[in-house]
Copies of this chain bind each other. A is one copy, B any other.
């Protein structure tokens, strides 16, 4: 249910209408998270009911009334709690991106721990895939047909995991870290 969180992040940066959120998602946020206006309206309605956001209705002349949404205290608390809570092992980069983008200064420490954990999971997966390559396709240059195609898909996995690890290493290096690894 990460769309809720992505909306909370966007609304805490700036309040806005469902329509405006749709446009934001078409632009910057939408590079890593897409959402249609129908989906956003539905989700905002649900979030209003559960108290994460509120809106002020504004009449306009010439244009339809609009509902300007903003995050409630409950919403801010829920977002912070979500960011501080470890995701499951299959947590994907989009979800982690929402957390990175939405973390308040007080969330950063917990977030760094979580990033480190996910980074290590991806490093393990990379090693596993490299092991498969070594075991099943020790000489890739001679492959043809189905075996070649299977190898190439596996290569994609290796490169994808490696890329994620590199990214998260960069993130960990850049983030202010009050928990430097001392002597472990």
CA A143 to CA B156, docked complex, whole Å: 32
| CB–CB A167/B174 < 8 A | no
CA A159 to CA B161, docked complex, whole Å: 11
Tell me, yes or no, whether A85 is within 8 Å of chain B by CB.
Answer: no
| CB–CB A152/B174 < 8 A | yes
B-side contacts of A34, CB under 8 Å: 90
Interface residues in A65-122 by Cβ distance below 8 A to B read 90, 93, 97, 100-101, 103, 105
The smallest beta-carbon distance between A54 and chain B, in angstroms, is 23
Interface size class of A (residues with CB under 8 A): 35 or more
CA A156 to CA B148, docked complex, whole Å: 29
Residue of A34, A144, A156, A160 with most chain B CB atoms under a 10 A cut-off: A156
CA A154 to CA B160, docked complex, whole Å: 17
Give the oligomeric copy count: 2
B-side contacts of A127, CB under 8 Å: none
B-side contacts of A134, CB under 8 Å: none
Tell me, yes or no, whether A51 is within 8 Å of chain B by CB.
Answer: no
Q: How does the 8 Å CB contact mask read for A144-184 relative to B, with 1 for contact and 0 for none?
A: 11101110111111011011101100110011100000000
Tell me, yes or no, whether A129 is within 8 Å of chain B by CB.
Answer: yes
Closest A-B pairs by Cβ, 7 of them: A163-B163, A156-B167, A97-B153, A159-B167, A152-B171, A101-B153, A159-B163
